């Protein structure tokens, strides 16, 4: 089905610096939604866990928003790609950690 194809694309397009900005943003949203859902599941399973999406977003942003901004317009796509790749990689690591917690 097309949704499976779309999901596969969403899972990989942030890795490709030649992807459209739209695909990269959709990929970010895709992983962010998964992360949010996992946090809700974890809170339901263990109400004492004090993790929320705002805190995690801030932590991830602090890690990834350290690249120097582009000087020239033609560096903008590369800059956007680097940051998005970092954001998504960080979210995926967090999702993996949450999965471990959820599997306990």
Report the distance separating Cα 59 and Cα 93, nearest Å: 13
- The encoded tokens of residue 51 equal 């993790």
pLDDT in tens, 36-74: 999 999 999 988 888 889 999 999 999 999 888 888 888
pLDDT at 12 over 60: yes
Q: Please say whether the beta carbons of 95 and 31 come within 8 A.
A: yes
Q: Please say whether the beta carbons of 7 and 33 come within 8 A.
A: no
pLDDT in tens, 72-87: 888 888 888 889 899 9
* pTM of this structure: 0.84
């Amino acid at each position: 089905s097309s949704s499976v194809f779309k999901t596969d694309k969403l899972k990989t397009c942030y890795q490709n610096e030649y992807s459209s900005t739209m695909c990269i943003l959709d990929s970010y949203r895709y992983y962010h939604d998964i992360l949010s859902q996992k946090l809700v599941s974890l809170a339901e399973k263990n109400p004492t866990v004090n993790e929320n999406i705002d805190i995690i977003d801030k932590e991830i942003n602090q890690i990834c928003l350290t690249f120097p901004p582009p000087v020239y317009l033609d560096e903008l796509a590369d800059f956007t790609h680097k940051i998005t790749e970092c954001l998504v990689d960080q979210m995926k690591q967090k999702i993996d950690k949450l999965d471990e917690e959820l599997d306990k």
